[in-house]
Homo-oligomer: A and B are copies of this chain.
Amino acid sequence: MFVLGIDPGLSRCGYGVVEGLGRGRARAVAAGVLRTDPGSDVPQRLAALQVDLRSLLGEHRPVVMAIERVLFQANARTAIPVAQAAGVAMVEAVAAGCQVVEYSPNRVKQTITGHGGADKRQMERMVQTLLGITMPLRPVDAADAMAVALCHLAHAPLRERVSTRMEGQPRGGLQVADPVPAWGPR
């Protein structure tokens, strides 16, 4: 199952596509940052972001968009444009037939590293480990988006993952190999 992780933002919107392989393994498919021109006005920037998100969804056809929840407390100055960008991401995902699931930043950190107060470096190291890659994850928005996608793979109810993977497979051809969350604090 392909999961598109989104770290929403208007200036920089991080994305990471991860494929869940079962048995706690996952593969990084694509990651990056969608940027919009700070010189344009907000509606035009949101429209540009919409186009980029639509391309991503069309290219990777994820089953789920896992998106970091915008918290009011987190950053008062940018909360409004970040929420606007998140709104656009959500409707694009729904239009593409994706399930959309929100995770708070603390939930993502807790799931990936085992504690909600993890710093950027700890998060990056765990994301690298989970994806089996050694190269630095840059820019940081892309690493954050990967973390949200991995968080979803860890939390998605088993039945949901099973039913998704069964589509298009011969009936009875699926073995349930991982009845516990694939990742997360153990």
Residues of A within 8 A of B (CB): 41-44, 46-47, 50, 70-72, 76-77, 79-81, 83-88, 90-91, 93-95, 100, 102
A94 touches B42 (CB 8 A): no
DSSP majority for the A interface? helix
Q: Jot down 8 A-B pairs with beta carbons below 8 A, ordered by A.
A: A41-B100, A43-B93, A44-B94, A47-B90, A72-B77, A84-B84, A84-B87, A85-B87
B91 touches A43 (CB 8 A): yes
Q: How far is the CA of A102 from the CA of B44 in the complex (A)?
A: 12
Q: State the oligomeric state as a number of copies.
A: 2
B84 touches A90 (CB 8 A): yes
Contacts of A79 in B (CB 8 A): 72, 79-80, 83
Report A87 CB to chain B, min CB distance, Å: 3
Across the two chains, which residue of chain B brings its CB closest to A45?
B90
Report A76 CB to chain B, min CB distance, Å: 6
Instruction: For the complex of A and B, list the 6 residue pairs with the smallest distance between their C-beta atoms, beginning with the closest.
Output: A84-B87, A83-B83, A43-B100, A87-B87, A47-B94, A43-B90
